[in-house]
Amino acid sequence: MPNVRIEAFTFEYNELQDRIRLTGNMYSEGGEISFWFTRRLALRLLDASVELVKKTSPGIVNLPAEHQAAMALFEHQSAQLETHNITESPSRIKEGAETNSSEIEPKILRRLDISCKDQRYQLSFFLSGSEEAVAVSSLSYSQLHQLLSLIHRGALALEWGVESSLFATAADEPVTLQ
């Protein structure tokens, strides 16, 4: 188990790199670690997250299948209203913009594993060529939703072709008979 524990996250969307930058703050050590989410990894994570939430939320698991997407969307929107240690950087790096050379050099994230136990989500971050996680973080259900929301928002901002809503699709919308 790695000894790098991420306590808070900051997201930034970089149009020049066409990536999402996640910076993890380690309060106990006073440092930070930075990763790039590529389009491929972010899209795979967003696709898998819908099923993860449906399988691990006590409020969703016991519902009939036709109501699960609506409840997942409701829980997702409710979680975004809470404030935790997950934030979005106020600025987006655009093409042609210079970056601060003293910043920690982000590493490309190869894999992000998420496991759930007792309504806590453990995130394990893996880099290329590493069989062991280089960092871990433990999140509540609300924090997981916030993290997913910021990755989704980045995918929208970078025009990666994601749906406008993470948990609802056109097929889930109610049908009105007239």
Query: Residue 69: pLDDT above 80?
Result: yes
Mean pLDDT of the chain: 82
Average pLDDT of the segment spanning 120-146: 92
Kindly report the pTM of this predicted structure.
Answer: 0.81
CA distance 70 to 165: 11
Helix, strand, or coil here: 156? helix
Q: What is the pLDDT of residue 101?
A: 35
For 136-162, write each residue's pLDDT tens digit: 999 998 899 889 988 998 999 999 999
CA distance 103 to 57: 37
| Bridge partners, 23 (sequence order) | 10, 34
Could you please report the per-residue DSSP string of 64-86?
Answer: -HHHHHHHHHHHHHHHHHS--SE
Burial bucket for residue 116 (CB in 10 Å: 0-12, 13-18, 19+) = middle
